[in-house]
Amino acid sequence: MIAGELKRLVDTVRYDWTEDVVKSFSFKEFRKGLEWFKKLESCLLCGDYLTCEHTEYHRDWYPFVIDNFERVKQVGFKKHLEEEEERARAGVDLMGHLERRCCKVAKLEE
């Protein structure tokens, strides 16, 4: 479900430029991974999620996905999605995490 939508998005927009930003990232391998993930409703439902080489990048860049994995085990995938949708409506998104991780702080002289 999610992987299929993500594949549709990357096929439409073409994110191959990401290889220039993260040298260890392979767009071709990413697309192959999406084909594999399409077999699952969500990678968070896979018992190998915490050790899978295909999700290592996500766990490294977005450590909160480990909490998501644990939450899915507790309440189920459908309830987890409902909670995430509620968080999104409240304005919680990934940008804050990415800004803290990737953006440098510039101090302006007074």
Q: Report whether pLDDT(54) > 80.
A: yes
3-state secondary structure of 73: helix
> Which comes out higher in pLDDT, residue 44 or 18?
44
Q: Which two tokens stand for residue 85?
A: 């949708």
Split at pLDDT 50, 70, 90, the class of 106 is: low
Burial class (CB in 10 A: 0-12, 13-18, 19+), 53: exposed
Lowest mean pLDDT segment, chosen from 19-23, 25-29, 97-101: 97-101
Q: Which two tokens stand for residue 29?
A: 């391998």
Phi/psi of residue 5, each to 5°?
-65, -40
